[in-house]
Amino acid sequence: MTIQSIIFICETCKIQTDSSYDEGTIKPTVCQLCINWEKLAFEQYTPPFFYSNGYIFDANNDMVADDPDKMLQVRGFGKLISEYPEETVASIQDAIGIIVAKALTEYWKRNDE
């Protein structure tokens, strides 16, 4: 197979990036950086999630989001900082926020009549 190089806008972070892929395979739509952040984000919480008194928790009772005045504020900095360097934590937390926004968007699309 032939290696192709392309420039595209990442579907997750909306940043223009370049990538290589094998001809005949699916062209990438998400940059490598976002794929890695999303993987780390998924490792932080365990479904199912539940809502209680203005907070969203995962199955392990870890708080995912709070602050009903702002609708949702993604949580986890304190938990993440004990496991990752500070400069990495914000990116993981942003990836979690993107996942929550995607899930809310999909739910809204399926249920808004």
Q: Which residue has the higher pLDDT, 112 or 106?
A: 106
pLDDT at site 7: 85
State whether 41 and 25 are in the same domain: no
State whether 65 and 77 are in the same domain: yes
Quote the domain boundaries for residue 90.
Answer: 32-111
pLDDT at site 71: 66
pLDDT digits (tens, 9 = 90+) for 68-100: 676 677 777 788 888 888 878 888 888 887 888
- Under 8 Å between Cβ of 67 and 74: no
Instruction: Report the distance separating Cα 101 and Cα 94, nearest Å.
Output: 10
State whether 25 and 48 are in the same domain: no
State whether 59 and 93 are in the same domain: yes
State whether 107 and 53 are in the same domain: yes
State whether 22 and 47 are in the same domain: no
DSSP secondary structure code for residue 30 in this structure: S
Q: How many CB atoms lie within 10 A of CB 93?
A: 19
